[in-house]
């Protein structure tokens, strides 16, 4: 099957938009109230560690995806079962991301358009992008990322000029101690958005320069975290803690505060662009992760699956919950414990232990550590 | 194969959604499955069901094309031999 290549800049752009994705739509670390930015700052360090952990895991067997690593650790049959689990997990997450966007559009911007139409439309676009391949997704992300920076800069300037910013809203710092921060960190910020980077384990091998990939990933996570912290501070100083807690989409509410000379008003479009790009990339990356799993199980090019499974995501994005409150409840109470923790940390941790054990065993037997090549050598002793 | 994968994934997602619903609203998994089928599928869902059917049609057509290509390939091999 044809191997696609993405550059380091494209990887950074993908990581940046992926991490901003739905996190910037619904706001993160709100449990920590006006210390949300400190919570995100600490989560950034953990996020950096998480991406390094995934790189370390993938570097054990270079050139293999997450699914091939599963096969190496658990054998083909059990790997198929686990891969199916990952496929469902990625599709479910993609559905949740699309739902966030659908709710944003249907409740705040286009109230007369059914959420079903919004989901279906964006899923068609995602399906088509992935049909064209990962390179197209990476290029799309790379092209639009500078606009994202420009729009965040514009939003900040507009808010400053309109006099809506009050820095005292950030005070008191650590007023309630570290407890609220820890509460928002575990498992909230640990799993969302940083733990979701597990899906990049199917993308890392497409990076042209894998040696520098690790550094580029850290830069991507760093820049995304900086933007998340910056947007969090911007929301707190504009809306205040109560305003953020009352709002479903705090960044959108922040943008609506802009009013300069009764002329520059309702600059929602700027924020919606940022959110739409994030959702498009995040939804696509999750779907791509699932498609690569299907490619691994059924041994057919992932492109065959792209449109049908995009339709499946559209269907489940609406079916997963009755309303937005239900959607948030599921996302806070159930998903982190039953899906995020096992798939983001549980299985990879077990895999790492087995990988290291197998490689050590391989070294002891003096047969080298590359299990795949050993198996081939055993099958074809003459070659 | 693609149609099979479509049905398998559809069913798995259905069960997962029902499981979460039953955990959140404290009812049994069977009730969760039924609830999804009869209550959550509203009028506007007709758009999504159409999308789902388009996806299914894509799967079937791709499977048929793959099967035909495979058959042609086998025939070509047979003629060479």
How do residues A71-115 score in pLDDT, each as one tens digit?
Answer: 999 999 999 999 999 999 999 999 999 999 999 898 888 889 988
User: In 10 A of CB A176, how many CB atoms?
Assistant: 12
pLDDT at A2: 66
Give the pLDDT of residue A332.
Answer: 87
Mutate to test the interface with A, among B1, B6, B10, B13 (most CBs of A within 10 A): B13
pLDDT confidence of residue A266: 82
pLDDT at residue A373 in the model: 46
Instruction: Kindly report the backbone phi and psi dihedral angles of residue A322, in degrees, each rounded to the nearest multiple of 5, phi listed first.
Output: -70, -45
Domain, as residue range, for B10: 2-80
Which residue from B minimizes the CA distance to A291?
B5
Distance from CA of A193 to the nearest CA of B (A): 21
Paired residues of A260 in beta bridges: A264
Q: How far apart are the first and last CA of chain A?
A: 23
Cβ-based neighbour number of residue A296 at 10 Å: 22
Helix ranges (H only) for chain A are 8-26, 36-60, 66-74, 76-104, 115-132, 134-161, 179-184, 190-191, 210-246, 250-256, 268-298, 303-319, 324-329, 335, 347-364, 371-379
| The predicted structure's pLDDT at residue A279 | 94
The two tokens of residue A368 are 């080298």
Q: Rounded to a whole number, what is the distance in Å from the CA of A89 to chain B's nearest CA?
A: 9
Nearest chain A residue to B45 by CA distance is A116
Is A20's Cβ below 8 Å from some Cβ in B? no
Mean pLDDT for the stretch of residues B51-76: 91
Interface of A with B in 60-99 (CB under 8 A): 84, 87-88, 91-92, 95
Please identify which residue in the block is written with the tokens 């499981």.
Answer: B19
Mutate to test the interface with B, among A87, A311, A325 (most CBs of B within 10 A): A311
Apex A328 CA angle, A325 and A331, nearest 5: 150
Q: Given the DSSP bridges, would you call strands A264-265 and A259-260 parallel, antiparallel or unpaired? A: antiparallel
The pLDDT value given to residue A209: 85
Residues of B in contact with A99 (CB under 8 A): none
Tell me which H or E stretch contains A264.
strand A264-265
Distance (Å, whole) CA A251 – CA A238: 10
CA distances from B51 to A123, A307, A313, A369 (A): 10, 10, 10, 47
Does B55 sit within 8 Å of A310, measured CB to CB?
yes
* Confidence (pLDDT) at A85: 96
Judging contacts by C-beta atoms under 8 Å, the chain A residues touching residue B51 are 120, 123, 311, 314-315
* C-alpha R_g of chain B: 19
Residues 324-353 in A contacting B (C-alpha not used; CB under 8 Å): 326, 329-330, 333-335, 338
pLDDT at site A376: 45
Distance from CA of B64 to the nearest CA of A (A): 12
State which CATH number among 1.20.1740.10, 1.10.230.10, 1.10.8.100, 1.20.1250.20 fits the domain covering A8-63+87-331. 1.20.1740.10
How many structural domains does chain B have? 1
Residue B38 has pLDDT above 80, yes or no: no
Contacts of A282 (CB under 8 A, 6+ apart): A17, A18, A21, A22, A94, A97
Looking at per-residue pLDDT, the higher value among B40 and A271 belongs to A271
Tokens of B46: 């007709």
Calculate the alpha carbon distances from A138 to A7, A144, A261, A270, B44 in Å: 9, 10, 40, 22, 33
pLDDT beneath 70: ranges in chain A: 1-2, 366-383
Q: Do A314 and B51 touch (CB under 8 A)?
A: yes
Asked if A104 and A249 touch (Cβ cutoff 8 Å), the reply is yes
- ipTM of predicted complex: 0.91
């Amino acid at each position: 099957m044809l191997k696609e290549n993405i550059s380091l800049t494209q990887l950074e752009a993908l990581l940046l938009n992926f991490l901003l994705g739905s996190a910037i739509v619904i706001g993160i670390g709100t449990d920590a109230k006006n210390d949300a930015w400190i919570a995100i700052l600490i989560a950034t360090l953990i996020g950096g560690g998480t991406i390094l952990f995934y790189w370390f895991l993938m570097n054990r067997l270079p050139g293999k995806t997450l699914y091939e690593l599963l096969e190496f650790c658990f054998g083909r049959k059990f790997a198929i079962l686990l891969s199916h689990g990952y496929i469902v997990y990625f599709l479910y997450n993609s559905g949740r991301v699309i739902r966030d966007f659908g709710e944003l559009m249907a409740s705040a911007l286009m109230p007369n358009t059914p959420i079903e139409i919004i989901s279906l439309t964006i899923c068609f676009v995602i399906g088509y992008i992935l049909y064209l391949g990962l390179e197209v997704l990476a290029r799309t992300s790379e092209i639009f990322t500078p606009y994202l920076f420009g729009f965040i800069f514009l939003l900040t300037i507009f808010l400053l000029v309109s006099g809506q910013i009050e820095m005292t809203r950030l005070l008191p710092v650590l007023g309630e101690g570290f407890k609220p921060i820890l509460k928002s960190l575990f498992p909230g910020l640990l799993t969302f958005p940083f733990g979701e980077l597990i899906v990049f384990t199917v993308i890392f091998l497409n990076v042209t320069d894998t040696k520098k990939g690790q550094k580029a990933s850290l830069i991507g996570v760093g820049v995304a975290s900086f933007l998340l912290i910056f947007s969090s501070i911007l929301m707190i100083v504009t809306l205040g803690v109560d305003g953020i807690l009352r709002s479903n989409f705090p960044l959108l509410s922040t943008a609506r505060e802009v009013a300069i000379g009764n002329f520059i008003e309702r600059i929602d479009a700027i924020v919606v662009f940022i959110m739409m790009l994030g959702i498009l990339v995040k939804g696509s990356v999750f779907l791509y992760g699932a498609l690569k799993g299907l490619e691994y199980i059924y041994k057919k090019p992932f492109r065959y699956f792209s449109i049908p499974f995009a339709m499946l995501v559209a269907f489940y994005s609406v079916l997963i919950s009755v309303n937005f409150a239900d959607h948030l409840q599921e996302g806070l109470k159930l998903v982190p414990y039953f899906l995020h923790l096992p798939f983001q940390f549980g299985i990879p941790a077990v895999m790492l232990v087995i990988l290291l054990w197998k490689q050590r065993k391989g070294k002891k037997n003096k047969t080298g550590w590359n299990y795949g090549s050993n198996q081939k050598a055993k099958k074809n002793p003459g070659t | 194969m693609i149609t099979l994968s479509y049905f398998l994934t559809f069913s798995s997602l259905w069960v997962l959604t029902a499981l979460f619903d039953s955990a959140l609203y404290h009812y049994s998994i069977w009730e969760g499955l039924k609830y999804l089928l009869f209550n959550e599928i509203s009028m506007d869902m007709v758009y999504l069901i159409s999308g789902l059917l388009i996806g299914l049609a894509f799967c079937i057509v791709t499977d048929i094309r793959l099967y035909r290509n495979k058959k042609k390939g086998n025939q070509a091999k047979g003629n060479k031999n």
